[in-house]
Amino acid sequence: MKYNFDEIIDRKNTNSMNTDGFREYMFKGRENLSFPYKDDELIRMWIADMDFATPPEIIEAIQKRLDRRIFGYSQVFDPNYYAALSNWTERMYDWTFPKEQLVTSPGIIPALYELCEYICKPDEKVLILTPSYAFFQSAAGFNNLELVCSKLKIENGHYTIDYDDLEAKAKDPKVTLCIFCNPHNPTGRLWKEEELRKVGEICLRNKVWIISDEIHCDLLRSGLSHTPFAKLFPQSDRIVTCMAPSKTFNMAGLMFSNVIIPNQELRELWLRRHYSFKNPLSIAATQAAYEHGQQWHQELLKYLDGNFKFTAEFLRKHLPEAEFTIPEATYLAWINISKYISGEEDVKGLFASQAGVLLEDGSMFVDNGQGYIRLNLACPRAILKEGLERIAAFLNSYYANLRFN
Ligand code: LCS
């Protein structure tokens, strides 16, 4: 390995949400909540960023741009940016798109907020699959659009789409947009071509736009490959693709993402309304990620494979009643712990205060997540081990107490 994913890096006092902002985000209104651990002794497995250093190739590119010393108004003018991104999508997913379809955004979340507004009329509805990343709901809600949920089905730890339910909901003429997570957060499903085709056919024949949020598409178990939704429907201009270097290369704070809008009218509306200036350091960093990040990315996937294997073995041994299948995608473990703990209102508070672990529970996702916790495994193995040990000790004693009482 050229890169060291075992390194433990101090993130405290860097204005990081993960270390410095968790109280406000997770325990709003209860910021004085006290835990038996000091803040920097908590094991943090919640927000979806990584505890690994951003690749040195990216940091060097930022340094090079810093050396130019002037940071005036900037946009992406250099054609090498598109070349870098489309080479990446070609190599990774055997797919590209015309240059003019590409716009950029400070993030996928702000893009979702904008796209909901541009695509939907005020009385229309947005369709999502649940459990869902909560910001899909927020993007609809912010635009006063009603949310319609189709629950994923689960069988033997494997999530599938309920096509009949999806079709019934897509048929509502007021449903005009589906925000689809490809691959899926939090379940980690890497959708097969056949599944994407079925969803696409349902949406398109019912005149429902699709935003395919593909932010997790580079975080797959080694050997697997991602299918961009739009690749399967080249004749349609109603599929918007969102991709970003933020999750893949751990640079969410640089606020730069790609939005591919094939529909000319929608793109023109975006270009008229969207605030178009960009952070020049982020442009340099993103281009470098796509140009020089491949080896780091391959090693990252290997390390994550190891973390998933470690977690699956640990759970089998120490929490045998937990239901967990290694996901095909994301660095997130979605674990059913309902045999150990159920009916608790504040599961994340319980884990923080009793186990000293910050994690997200099913209630932090939209619908259909009861009984689950989500662990972020993108951390050095030693931290992962400590986190899992604390979780097991807490759940086993909680369970023993329940049975005893
Ligand atoms: N879309 C999905 C599906 C995500 O999972 C996330 C981050 C974003 C968008 C955020 O995009 P950004 O605006 O940063 O470009 N997911 C997170 C999560 O599950 N916990 O913390 C962040």
Q: How many alpha carbons fall within 13 Å on the CB side of residue 258?
A: 29
Nearest residue CA, atom 17 of ligand 1?
48
- Among all chains, which residue has been given the structure tokens 């689960």? 154
* CB distance 239 to ligand 1 below 6 Å: no
How far apart CA 133 and CA 360 sit, in angstroms, is 11
SS (H, E, C) 260-298: ECCCHHHHHHHHHHCCCCCCHHHHHHHHHHHHHCHHHHH
At 332, phi and psi to the nearest 5?
-115, 135
Average pLDDT of the residues of the chain: 97
- Quick: pLDDT tens for 258-290: 999 999 999 999 999 999 999 999 999 999 999
**Residue to mutate, 104, 247, 256, ligand 1, most ligand atoms under 8 Å from C-beta:** 247
pLDDT at 29: 84
**Contact indicator for 238, 269 with CB cutoff of 8 Å:** no
How far apart CA 61 and CA 306 sit, in angstroms, is 29
**Residue to mutate, 45, 47, 109, 219, ligand 1, most ligand atoms under 8 Å from C-beta:** 109
pLDDT at 405: 62
Q: Is the pLDDT of residue 32 over 80?
A: no
Nearest residue CA, atom 11 of ligand 1?
108
> Which is the closest atom of ligand 1 to the Cα of 374?
19
* CB distance 108 to ligand 1 below 6 Å: yes
Q: Is 83 helix (H, G, I), strand (E, B) or coil?
A: helix
- Quick: pLDDT tens for 50-96: 999 999 999 999 999 999 999 999 999 999 999 999 999 999 999 99
Q: Is the pLDDT of residue 312 over 90?
A: yes
**Residue-range domains of the chain with CATH:** 17-55+295-404 (3.90.1150.10), 57-292 (3.40.640.10)
Q: Closest Cα partner for 365 from 340, 330, 339?
A: 330
Q: Is 197 helix (H, G, I), strand (E, B) or coil?
A: helix
pLDDT at 252: 98
> Which is the closest atom of ligand 1 to the Cα of 181?
3
* CB distance 107 to ligand 1 below 6 Å: yes
Residue 211 is inside which H or E element, if any? strand 209-213
- DSSP lists the bridge partners of residue 178 as 127, 210
- Quick: pLDDT tens for 327-372: 999 999 999 999 999 888 899 999 999 999 999 999 999 999 999 9
* CB distance 250 to ligand 1 below 6 Å: no
Q: Is the pLDDT of residue 185 over 90?
A: yes
pTM exceeding 0.85: yes
User: Could you give the percent of the chain with pLDDT greater than 70?
Assistant: 99
How far apart CA 221 and CA 223 sit, in angstroms, is 6
